[in-house]
């Protein structure tokens, strides 16, 4: 069974080589009707129904890397694999699995997280952890780095000063991943990562938002401070099971954004 044709059509432009400075980037997440992607507690909040969750797992097969922020990695303990897909047909190759990438500036991820457990069990790819540093003379940080590497992670470091961090770290991160050979990247969140990627339209090629017909109430609001998404145009809306899915692509500069 192949991925849904609307997904492959949406990502057709990714067949072209990415720019030298970054991968092709898809930003995707599931939200509630009241725009929440998480609850008040640091635990995963299931929003997607079975069909849209499977769609997300198909989308994972279409990317070389899958990225989450440190808070998501610590709170959700995600696997970032394709386990919700039907098994491939007999004699067909396994579904491609993206490389898990965690943005974890201070290397606080647990060495016994599921990503590392799956890697060590031979059921997941080696996760990459992107930190910022190294901070000078910080023995605790060195200890955490050694523990993560000992557990199988590859630690990559962004060399950014504190003043550079908010404005330039997403472009710097994308350049780092591109230099490491990542040509297509799926970004799943959380809220801070979404905001940081949306802070400049040139960070993202495609946005795909699943909206589940539920209300969360107090929780994690991804859109707070994002603005109007004027730089984006809708290219697809569809029902996937009980959820609605909207896809947007970067609007060409010459097009009127009204």
Ligand X SMILES: NC(=O)C1=CN([C@@H]2O[C@H](COP(=O)(O)OP(=O)(O)OC[C@H]3O[C@@H](n4cnc5c(N)ncnc54)[C@H](OP(=O)(O)O)[C@@H]3O)[C@@H](O)[C@H]2O)C=CC1
Ligand Y SMILES: Nc1nc(O)c(N)c(N[C@@H]2O[C@H](COP(=O)(O)O)[C@@H](O)[C@H]2O)n1
Q: Rule CB under 6 A: which residues touch ligand Y? A: 30, 44-48, 53, 56, 68, 72, 76, 78-81, 188-189, 210
Least CB distance to ligand Y at residue 81 (A): 6
Residue 67 DSSP label: E
Q: CA-CA distance, 24 to 64, in Å (whole number)?
A: 10
What tokens were used for 167? 């404005």
Whether the CA torsion 84, 111, 38, 97 is positive or negative: it is negative
Q: Which residues neighbour 117 within 8 Å (Cβ) at sequence distance 6 or greater? A: none
Cβ proximity of 109 and 133 under 8 Å: no
Nearer to ligand Y, 153 or 231 (CB): 153
Residues between 184 and 203 that touch ligand X (CB under 6 A): 188-193, 196
Least CB distance to ligand X at residue 92 (A): 29
Q: Report the partner that residue 81 touches, choosing among ligand Y, ligand X, none (CB closer than 5 to 8 A by kind).
A: ligand Y
Q: Report the partner that residue 220 touches, choosing among ligand Y, ligand X, none (CB closer than 5 to 8 A by kind).
A: ligand X
Q: CA-CA distance, 111 to 104, in Å (whole number)?
A: 13
Whether the CA torsion 58, 211, 35, 249 is positive or negative: it is positive
Can you point out the beta strands (E) in the chain? 24-31, 36-38, 65-69, 99-103, 128-132, 154-158, 184-189, 206-211, 220-221, 232-240, 243-250
Q: Report the partner that residue 106 touches, choosing among ligand X, ligand Y, none (CB closer than 5 to 8 A by kind).
A: ligand X
| The one among 10, 30, 185, 248 contacting ligand X by CB under 6 A | 30
Q: Report the partner that residue 186 touches, choosing among ligand Y, ligand X, none (CB closer than 5 to 8 A by kind).
A: none
Q: Report the partner that residue 80 touches, choosing among ligand X, ligand Y, none (CB closer than 5 to 8 A by kind).
A: ligand Y
Least CB distance to ligand Y at residue 125 (A): 13
Least CB distance to ligand Y at residue 194 (A): 10
Q: CA-CA distance, 127 to 62, in Å (whole number)?
A: 18
Least CB distance to ligand Y at residue 178 (A): 22
Q: Which residues neighbour 118 within 8 Å (Cβ) at sequence distance 6 or greater? A: 79, 81, 124
Q: How many residues bind ligand X (CB under 6 A)?
A: 28
Least CB distance to ligand Y at residue 90 (A): 25
Site string for ligand X, 86-125 (x = CB under 6 A): -----------------x-xx-------------------
Give the containing element (helix H, strand E) for 140. Answer: helix 139-150
* Residue numbers at the binding site for ligand X (CB under 6 A): 29-30, 37-38, 44-45, 47, 68-72, 75-76, 103, 105-106, 169-170, 173, 188-193, 196, 220
């Amino acid at each position: 069974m192949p991925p849904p044709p609307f997904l492959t059509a949406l990502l057709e432009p990714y067949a072209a080589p990415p720019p030298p400075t970054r991968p092709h980037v898809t930003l995707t997440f599931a939200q509630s009707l009241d725009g929440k992607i998480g609850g008040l507690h640091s635990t995963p909040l299931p929003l997607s129904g079975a069909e849209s969750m499977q769609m997300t797992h198909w989308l994972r097969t279409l990317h070389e890397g899958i990225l989450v922020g440190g808070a998501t990695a610590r709170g959700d303990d995600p696997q970032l694999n394709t386990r919700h897909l039907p098994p491939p047909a007999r004699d067909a190759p396994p579904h491609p699995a993206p490389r898990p990438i965690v943005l974890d500036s201070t290397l606080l991820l647990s060495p016994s997280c599921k990503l590392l457990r799956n890697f060590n069990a031979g059921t997941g790819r080696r996760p990459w952890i992107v930190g910022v540093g190294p901070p000078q003379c910080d023995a605790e940080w060195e200890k955490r780095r050694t523990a993560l590497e000992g557990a199988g992670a590859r630690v990559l470091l962004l060399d950014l000063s504190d003043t550079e961090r908010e404005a330039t770290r997403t472009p710097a991160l994308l350049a780092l991943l591109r230099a490491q050979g990542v040509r297509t990247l799926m970004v799943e969140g959380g809220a801070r990562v979404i905001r940081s990627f949306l802070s400049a339209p040139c960070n993202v090629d495609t946005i795909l938002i699943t909206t589940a017909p539920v209300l969360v109430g107090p929780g994690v609001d991804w859109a707070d401070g994002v603005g109007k998404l004027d730089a984006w145009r809708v290219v697809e809306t569809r029902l996937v099971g009980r959820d609605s899915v909207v896809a947007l692509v970067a609007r060409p500069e010459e097009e009127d954004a009204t």
